[in-house]
Amino acid sequence: MTNTARATFGGKFGVLMATLGTAVGLGNIWRFPYMCGAHGGGAFLLVFILCILFLGLPVMITEFFIGRHSQRNVTGAFDVLAPGTRWNLIGYNGVITSFLILGFYTVVSGWTLEYMFQSVFYSFEHKTAVDIKADFSAFSTDIVRPLFWTLMVVLITQIVIMSGVKKGIERSAKVLMPLLFVFLLLLAIRSVTLPNASVGLRYLFEPDFSKIDSAAILSAMGQAFFSLSIGMGCLITFSSYFGKNTNMQETAFQVNIISILVAILAGVIIFPAAFSFGIQPTAGAELVFITLPNVFAQLPWGNLWAFFFYALLAVAAITSVISLHEVVTLYLHEEHHISRKKAAYYVSFAVVILASISSLSLGYLKEYTLFGLTFFDFLDYITAKIMLPLGGMMICIFVGYRIEKRILKAELTNEGTIPFYFFNSYAFFVKYLAPVAIALILLYEIGVFKFLAGLF
Ligand code: TRP
């Protein structure tokens, strides 16, 4: 594999939109409201924002450094930067994490396709909140329908991956990401004008610090990593396609801010609506799917709105699926010399099997649990709350201790042609603050401190 053969994204807007295509997805619109609802609202939002700015931003810049500097896939990157060492285990962690995330992410992406389809053929109009909830449970616990849509998601992904990175990802993201944003804004306006909306807004924006426990902090950190697509090398793979003149600090900053904004917008849509229709914010993974149809039912041409919304959400989801799939495919292609096409087929096949099990675990295989979680929840928990933070910590340690500061700075300033005003603070964060903070949060949740306290 020669590096000259690698595609690059064109232009500043293309780079930003392609990165947003990866980062913005179900994590912001489906997972954020559900996590925020499960952990008490406002205080969670606050901790989430802090995690994005103080952990997410430095980790993202660091991944960009690794990717563009090495121009390689997730494991190869470490072999280039630290030849002959085991640092590439960070890359293997990334490959496995991508695969496990795909195991539940493709299922939820499939749900968005089902809802897109439903908005054409059925009407949400005369349904009550109770019917809408019953419909979702009937659907998600069904055997065939969710599997069918999951298969569609993987098929679409396979096609895009085969047609090449630049054409596939960049072109679709450039048009659809801005459109999704506009749609979210319009829906937010509808939602805050519903009766009782202020209760939902207060829930989202008034922090109740008594709700902040170690589980909430871990969830907020996991959500920050998940939502930014960091901690497993997805952005290493992506930035390996960046051009040498891409301003990576600026890109990272913009992606962080937009990711926060989209999550807040999703919250502004979901919580007022949930309170208005009497849906518990703690409803879990189904929160978005049982809340939004109620909003559409209240809109003139509700089904048309619903169709466009779910279509855009499906695209946002699928662009993220592509980025996860690409990590594993590129690894197989570059490291094991399998053709791109073949590698993509292998990955798709394995993902369909994993996703089928996780989809069935919500209904038919519900009794089979791991650590008290369904397989679906288990995949979500172990990836977002453990593997991503662990990967992010290792990435920081690697760059903090193994890479010369001079090289780091040269890459991040495009060989000194753009300034990096906070370089020293950034380097301090990467070397000390981020690894220590992540380690403390992880250890705390595992209960190490409670255990130690019990000893004395
Ligand atoms: N960030 C995406 C979202 O919010 C999901 C995603 C894509 C992701 N690639 C990732 C999450 C890599 C973690 C790691 O929907």
- Dump pLDDT digits (tens) for 155-209: 999 988 887 666 666 777 777 788 888 888 988 988 888 888 889 999 999 888 8
- Number of structural domains (the chain) is 1
Task: Report residue 281 as tokens.
Answer: 């914010």
Specify if 6 maps to a domain: no
Nearest to 375 by CA among 353, 405, 344, 407: 353
* Ligand 1 atom nearest to 232, measured from its CA: 14
**pLDDT over 90, % of the chain:** 35
Asked which of 7-16, 80-89, 201-210, 385-394 is least confident by mean pLDDT, the reply is 7-16
With a CB cutoff of 8 Å and minimum separation 6, the contacts of 404 are none
What is the pLDDT of the chain when averaged over all its residues? 86
* Residue 185, CB-side half-sphere exposure with 13 Å CA sphere: 8
Pocket of ligand 1 (CB under 6 A): 22-23, 25-28, 101, 226-227, 229, 232, 234, 320, 323-324, 388
* Ligand 1 atom nearest to 230, measured from its CA: 14
Q: Kindly tell me if the per-residue pLDDT of 21 is higher than 90.
A: no
Specify if 401 maps to a domain: yes
Specify if 298 maps to a domain: yes
DSSP one-letter string for 252-304: HHHHHHHHHHHHHHHHHHHHHHHHHTT--TT-GGGHHHHHHHHHHHTSTTHHH
CATH of the domain at 173: 1.20.1740.10
Specify if 119 maps to a domain: yes
Using CA atoms, how far apart are residues 392 and 231, in angstroms rounded to an integer?
4
Q: Kindly tell me if the per-residue pLDDT of 2 is higher than 50.
A: no
Q: How far is CA 422 from CA 111, 251, 392, 401, 426, in A?
A: 42, 15, 20, 19, 6
* Ligand 1 atom nearest to 26, measured from its CA: 15
Specify if 339 maps to a domain: yes
Ligand 1 centre and the CA of 231: distance in Å?
10
Amino acid at 62: T
> Ligand 1 pocket test: which of 320, 328, 380 has the largest number of ligand atoms within 8 Å of its C-beta?
320
Specify if 75 maps to a domain: yes
Specify if 433 maps to a domain: yes
Q: What is the pTM of this model?
A: 0.90
Atom 13 of ligand 1 has which residue's CA nearest to it?
229
> Which residues constitute the domain of residue 445?
12-455
> Ligand 1 pocket test: which of 22, 63, 108, 325 has the largest number of ligand atoms within 8 Å of its C-beta?
22
Using CA atoms, how far apart are residues 191 and 255, in angstroms rounded to an integer?
25
Express each pLDDT in 61-84 by its tens digit: 999 999 999 988 888 888 888 888
Per-residue confidence (pLDDT) for residue 448, from 0 to 100 = 61
Specify if 3 maps to a domain: no
Residue 82 CA, chain-centre distance (Å), reads: 28
Residue 373 backbone dihedrals phi, psi, to 5 degrees? -115, 150
